[in-house]
Chains A and B, each alone.
Chain A
Amino acid sequence: MLNSMSRNIKILFAVFSILFLSLIAYLSYFQLYEKNKLITSSYSVYNKRLIEQEKKILRGSIYDRNGNVLAKSTIVNGEQIRQYLDGVPFANIIGYSRRIYQQGSTGIENTYDRELLGMINTDPMTFLRETVLGKSQTGDDVVLTVDKRLQDLAYNLLGGRKGAVVALNPKTGEVLALVSSPSYDPNTLGEKWNSTMNSPDHLVLNRATQGLYPPGSIFKIVTASAALTYKPDIYNQVFNDTGYVIVDGNKITNYKSIAYGTIGFQKAFYVSSNTSFVKIGLQIGRNDLESMADKYGLNESVPFDISVAKNQFPSIPLIGGKVQLAESSIGQGKILVTPLTMALMASAPANGGVIMKPYLMDYVKNPVTGEILEKTTPEKYLNPISKDVADKIKQLMIGVVQQGTGTAAQIPGITVAGKTGTAENPQGQAHAWFVGFAPAENPKIVVAVIVENGGSGGAVAAPIAREIIRAYLGY
C-alpha cells in the first residue's frame, strides 16, 4: 500500500476520534449546563416527567399578611386537592394553576409556581433524585401583603356591582387589597370551566389590574401636577366658569352644567370644574401634559406580581389636537388606565412625590423550618413630582374631601385627602371613581375605587373608600 494512503487513513482516524470525543464533550456540557434550563424553564410544561413528579410534591400554602390561610393543599385518597379558603374575593389575585386545571395558570399560583413547588434553592439534581427515590416533598409557602379583612370588606362593599378596589401602602408599595367584582369560585372552577370562562360579566377579568377605564376627573391630579410643575403661575390664576367651554366648536360642560362663576385654581380643583381645567390644560400644552402623564406611568404596564394591562395615553397630534388636549386635561377622550395605576397615581402626593413599586408577595418561607427564602424589598418605581408639588396637591385633595365633591369620604378624627371622578364612557352611565389617602399628615393607606356605570364618584365610590380607610386605620 502507498505510504501516503496509510498517512491519510491515520488522519481520518484523528477526524473520527475528534467526532466521537465531541459527542462526549457535548453530552457533558449538556448535563452540566443545558439540563438545568430544561427543568426550570417554561418549556418544562411539555415534560411529562416533571408533571408526574410534581404530583408527588405537596404544593405550598398561600397566606395573607396576618397569617390567614388563603390556599392550601391536602391529600384526599392519595390525590392532592387544592383548597381556596376565601375563594371568591381572592380569585383575581391567587388565580389557579394548570397543575390543578390543566388549562393554563394565572395569578400568584402562576407567578410563584416554582416557589410553591419548592423548586427554588434546590438544585435540580437533588430535586430529581429525591423525586425519583419517591421522597415526598413539600413546596414552600408564599405570604402575601394583602389583608384578608380589607379584601373581604372591599368585595362586600362592591356588593356584586362591577368594579374594582385597590388599596396600598404608599410608603412601601405593599398592596393591602386588590378586589375585582364580580368574581368566581376557584374551588368549583373545574366543574364550571366553560360557564366561568365565557361569562358575559367577564368573571375571570381582573378588573383591578387588567380593566382599562377612562379616568375622568381623578386625572385632574395629573393635570394639576403638570400645571404646578411647568406653569407654576397658573396656581394664582382666576377663571370665569360659565358651566361650559367651547374648544374648536366642541362644547365641554361641567358635571351637571353647574356654573361656578369666578373661581381660583384651588376651588376649581375642589369642585372639579371641567371648564377651568380645560383652560388650564390648554395653557399647559400638549408637550408638558404628555410628559407628566408619562412620568406617572400612564403609557406603560405597571411592574407587578400578576399580569396587568398597559395604560394608554395616546399622544396628542400637533395639528388639530386641541380638542383632544382639552378632553385629556379632564381625563376624558382617549386615555385608558387601570385602577391599580390610579392608586399609584394617588400615592405620589401621599408619599412626597415618589411612587413605590407595588407588590403582592411579601416573602416565601419554608413551611417546616420557617426559613425565609425570598423577600421583597420596597423599591422606588416613579418620581413624577417634586416634594413641593406633592404637598400642594395633597392640600388640594384635602380640600376636595372637606369642602368639594368628596365630602362623602370624610371620617371624624382623620384627615382624608381624595379626588372624585365621574368618567363618561360609551357603555352607558358614567363610571364612579374615587382615589384618596389617609391620614393626610402621615398617609398609611391609599385607596382607588371604581364602580362601573355607578354614576357620581362622590356619591357612589367615595363612601366605599371611606369604609376601607376606616377599617384599616381602626376608626
Chain B
Amino acid sequence: MEEYVKTGSKAMKDIFLIFVIAFMLLFIYHKPKGFDTIYFTLAFLPLIYIVYYLHVRLFPMGEIQLIILSSFLAEMGLIMIYRVAPDLILKQIAWIFIGFILYFVSSYVSKYYDFFYNVKYGNYVYLAISFILLFSTFVLGKEIGGSKNWLTFGSISVQPSEIVKIIYIIFLARYLKDNKTTKDIIKVGAITIVIVGILVIEKDLGTALLFYLTTTFMIFAATSSLLYTTASVAFLGFGGGISYFLFNHVRVRIQAWLNPWMDVPGKTYQIAQSLFAIGAGGFFGTGLGMGHPEYIPVVASDFIFSAISEEFGMLGSVAIILVYFVIMYRGIKVALDAKDDFGALIAVGLTSMFSLQVFTIIGGVIKFIPLTGVTLPFVSYGGSSMVMSFITLGMLNGIAVREDEDVEQYEPQH
C-alpha cells in the first residue's frame, strides 16, 4: 500500500511537470486571449491532485492507476486542444471536471452493482431505455460531422449512443449470466444486429462496430463457445459486405482505406492529411508547436492522435497507446478479480468497449483499418465522450472496490 501511493505520487509529479512545461511553451506560441484562460488552465493541476488524494482516501483499495492514467490522457488532450483550437480549452476543462465527479458517483453506485441485477424486469427496462435513446435521434436528432446521432439541448449536444453503450453492457451482462443456450444467444444476437443497424443508418459506423464486437466478446466470455464467436465474425464479414453495397457512406470509407490517394481534394482528404501529419512527425516528432497539425480536419476530436503523432512523434504516440494498454490491463484484472459472473461480465464489457474504441480510432487515423469517426477517450475534444469514459473507469473502480471491501469484512477487526 505504501509502495503503491509512492509510485502514484511520482506519476502525479511527472504529470505536473509535463503540464507546466507544455503550457509554458504553448502560452509563448499562442498568447492566451485573457487571464481567465490562464487561471482555468492552471486550475487543472489542483483539480487532478484533489481527485488523486480523494481517490486514495475514499477508495484505499481502489484502482488508483485508472485515475492517474486518465488524468495523464486528459492532460495530453488539453495540451493538444490548446495547441490546435485554443478556444475550446475552457469547455474541455469543464467537461473533465464533470467527468471526475461522475467517476466518483459511478464508483459508489457500482459498488452496489447487484442492484443492476435485481431490477425487476431488468432486461426489458434496459432494452426499452436503449431503444428509446437510439430512436430519439431519428425524431429530434441533428446531424453533426456527417453522423445523425446527436441530440441538442440549447448549447449542449449529447450523443445518446454513448449512454446506450453502458446500459447495453449492463443488459448483456444480466442476460448472459443466466441465459446461455443457443436460442438465447440467437435472441441477443438479433437484438444487437438491430441496434447496429440503427447506428449504421445514422452513419455512426464506428459505434456500430464497437457494439457488435463488444457483444461478441461478452458472449465469448460468458459461453466459451468458439462456434458463436466464429459465426459472429463470419456474420460481420457478411453484414459488412452487404452494407458496402447498400450504403454509400460505408463504401466511401472502405475505398478511402484501400486507396487514400484516390481523391485527395475530396473524399479522402481527411485520411490523407492525417497521414501527412504522422509522416511529418517521424520518430521524434516536430516538437510541440513546431508542426502543422492545423492542416488536419476535425483535428481536436477524431484526429487528435494524428496531431500528437506529428508533434510528439512516434515515441509520444506509442506512449499514449501503452497508457491505454495499461488501462485495458487493469480492466481485465478487475474482471478476473470480480466477486461474481455478473460483475465480471460488466467489467469485460466495459473494458472491451473502451479498448475497441481506442483501437478503432487510432487504427483508423493511421490507416491500419478503415476510418470511422469515434473519439479517442479522454484525449479528444467532446463532452459526451469525456463523461462516458470517466463513467466507464468509475464503474470498473466500483466493481474492484466491491470485491476488495468484501474481502476486508473477513479480516479480523481491531
Which residues of A are interface residues toward B (Cβ below 8 A)? 1-2, 4-13, 15-17, 19-20, 22-24, 26-28, 30-31, 34-35, 38-39, 43, 46-49, 52, 125, 128, 132
Provide the bound-state CA to CA distance between A232 and B324, in Å: 82
Q: Which residues of A contact B265 (CB under 8 A)?
A: 46
Give the residues in chain B near A31, CB-CB below 8 Å.
Answer: 278-279, 282-283, 314
Q: A9-B332, A20-B328, A46-B273 are in contact. List 4 more A-B contacts (CB 8 A).
A: A16-B359, A19-B359, A23-B363, A43-B272
Nearest chain A residue, comparing its CB with the CB of B333: A13
| Interface membership of B321, Cβ < 8 A | yes
Q: A35-B282, A38-B275 are known contacts. Are A4 and B264 too (CB-CB below 8 A)?
A: no
Say yes or no: A6-B336 contact (C-beta < 8 A), given A31-B282, A31-B283, A132-B286. Answer: yes
Is there contact, CB below 8 Å, between A27 and B366?
Answer: yes
- Give the contacting residue for A1; candidates B217, B338, B355, B356; CB below 8 A: B338
19 A-B residue pairs with CB within 8 Å: A5-B344, A8-B220, A8-B222, A9-B332, A9-B335, A10-B336, A12-B348, A15-B217, A20-B322, A23-B359, A23-B368, A26-B366, A35-B282, A46-B272, A46-B273, A48-B295, A49-B276, A49-B280, A52-B292
Are A27 and B272 interface neighbours, CB within 8 A? no
A6, A27, A48: the one within 8 Å of B318 (CB):
A27
Q: How far is the CB of A124 from chain B (nearest CB, A)?
A: 8
CB distance from A40 to the nearest CB of B (A): 11
**Which 10 pairs show the lowest CB-CB distances between chains A and B?**
A35-B279, A46-B264, A26-B368, A47-B276, A13-B332, A38-B279, A8-B221, A20-B325, A19-B359, A4-B224
**How many B residues, CB 8 Å from partner?**
54
A132 & B290 in contact (Cβ 8 Å cutoff) = yes
Mostly, the B contact residues are helix
Is B97 an interface residue when CB atoms closer than 8 A count as contact? Answer: no
Flag whether B162 is at the interface (Cβ < 8 A): no
Return the CB mask of B254-296 against A: 1 if under 8 Å, else 0.
Answer: 0000000100110001001101101110110011001110010
Within 8 Å by CB of A20, from B273, B321, B332, lies B321
Query: Across the two chains, which residue of chain B brings its CB closest to A28?
Result: B314
Does B362 reach chain A (CB closer than 8 Å)? yes
Q: Taking CB as reference atom, which chain B residue is nearest A22?
A: B368
**0/1 interface trace, chain B 343-379, chain A, CB 8 Å (1 if under):** 0100010011001101100110011100000000000
**Cα distance A47–B310 in the bound complex, in angstroms:** 13
The CA-CA distance from A20 to B323 in the complex, in Å, is: 11
CA distance A86 to B294 in the complex (A): 41
A252 vs B272: C-alpha distance when bound (angstroms)? 61
Q: Say whether A5 contacts B283, CB under 8 Å.
A: no
Contact A5 B341 (CB under 8 A): yes
> In the complex, which of the residues B322, B335, B339, B366 contacts A30, with contact meaning CB atoms closer than 8 Å?
B366
Could you say which of B272, B318, B352, B366 contacts A12, with CB atoms under 8 Å apart? B352
Best-buried of A1, A2, A7, A22 by chain B (most CB within 10 Å) = A1
How many A-B pairs with Cβ below 8 Å? 120
The answer to whether A125 touches B341 (Cβ under 8 A) is no
**B276 and A38 contacting across the interface, CB-CB below 8 Å:** yes
List B residues at the A interface (Cβ < 8 Å): 217, 220-222, 224, 261, 264-265, 269, 272-273, 275-276, 278-280, 282-283, 286-287, 290-292, 295, 309, 314, 317-318, 321-322, 324-325, 328-329, 332, 335-336, 338-341, 344, 348, 351-352, 355-356, 358-359, 362-363, 366-368
Point out the residues of chain A lying under 8 angstroms from B338, CB to CB: 1
Closest to A129 in B: B282
Q: How far, in whole Å, are A34 and B286 apart by their CA atoms in the complex?
A: 18
* Chain A interface mostly: helix
> Across the interface, do A9 and B224 meet the contact criterion of CB distance under 8 Å?
no
Given contacts A1-B344, A9-B221, A16-B355, is CB(A48)–CB(B332) below 8 Å?
no
Shortest distance between the CB of A154 and any CB in chain B (Å): 41
Q: Which residues of B contact A20 (CB under 8 A)?
A: 321-322, 324-325, 328, 355, 358-359
Q: Which A residue sits closest to B291, measured CB to CB? A: A49
- On whether the beta carbons of B221 and A12 are closer than 8 Å, the reply is yes
Which B residues lie within 8 Å of A132 (CB)? 286-287, 290
Question: A residues within 8 A CB of B278?
Answer: 27, 30-31, 35
Question: What are the residues of chain A within 8 A of B222 when measuring CB–CB?
Answer: 5, 8
How distant is the Cα of A49 from the Cα of B290 in the complex, in angstroms? 11
* Complex contact A24–B321 (CB within 8 A): yes
Choose one: B292, B325, B328; the contact of A49 (CB below 8 Å). B292
Chain A residues, CB < 8 A from B339: 1
Q: How far is the CA of A109 from the CA of B256 in the complex (A)?
A: 31
Q: A28 to B348: give the CA distance in the assembly, Å.
A: 30
Chain B contacts for A13, CB-based, 8 A:
328-329, 332
CA distance A34 to B368 in the complex (A): 12
A23 to B369 Cα, complex, angstroms: 10
Partner of A34, one of B279, B322, B363: B279
| Contact indicator A128/B318 (Cβ below 8 Å) | no
How distant is the Cα of A437 from the Cα of B335 in the complex, in angstroms?
88
Knowing A23-B368, A31-B314, the reply to whether A43 touches B220 (Cβ < 8 A) is no
Beta-carbon nearest neighbor of A11 in chain B: B220
Closest Cβ of chain B to A142, distance in Å, is 27
Assuming the A-B contacts A23-B363, A46-B265, are A9 and B314 also in contact, with contact meaning beta carbons closer than 8 angstroms in the complex?
no
B321 and A9 contact, CB distance less than 8 A: no
A134 to chain B, nearest CB (A): 10
Do B279 and A39 have beta carbons less than 8 Å apart? yes
**In the complex, what's the smallest C-beta–C-beta distance from B354 to chain A, in angstroms?**
10
A27 engages B261 (CB within 8 Å): no
Q: Is the CB of B344 within 8 A of A9?
A: yes
Known: A1-B344, A12-B352. A23 touches B362 (CB 8 A): yes
From residue B388, how far is it (CB to closest CB) to chain A in Å? 19
Compute how far the CA of A465 lies from the CA of B213 in the bound complex, rounded to whole angstroms.
76
Cβ-closest chain B residue relative to A46: B264
* Residue among B280, B322, B356 with the highest chain A CB neighbour number at 10 A: B280
Complex CA–CA separation, A49 to B224 (angstroms): 51
- Least Cβ–Cβ distance between B251 and chain A, in angstroms: 22
Cβ–Cβ < 8 Å partners of B358 in chain A: 20
Q: Which A residues are in CB contact (< 8 Å) with B224?
A: 4-5, 7-8
Known: A9-B348, A46-B264, A49-B295. A1 touches B359 (CB 8 A): no
Contacts of A24 in B (CB 8 A): 318, 321
Residues of A within 8 A of B290 (CB): 132
Residues of B within 8 A of A11 (CB): 220
Q: Within the assembled complex, what's the spacing in Å between the Cα atoms of A277 and B205?
A: 72
The answer for the CA separation of A11 and B352 in the assembled complex, in Å, is: 12
Given A20-B321, A20-B325, do A12 and B217 touch, yes or no (CB 8 Å)?
A: yes
C-alpha gap A35/B280 in the complex (Å): 8
Q: How far does the Cβ of B159 sit from chain A's closest Cβ, in whole Å?
A: 24
**B280 contact set on A, CB distance < 8 A:** 47, 49, 128
Residues of A within 8 A of B261 (CB): 43
Residues of A within 8 A of B363 (CB): 23, 26
Q: How far is the CA of A336 from the CA of B286 in the complex (A)?
A: 54
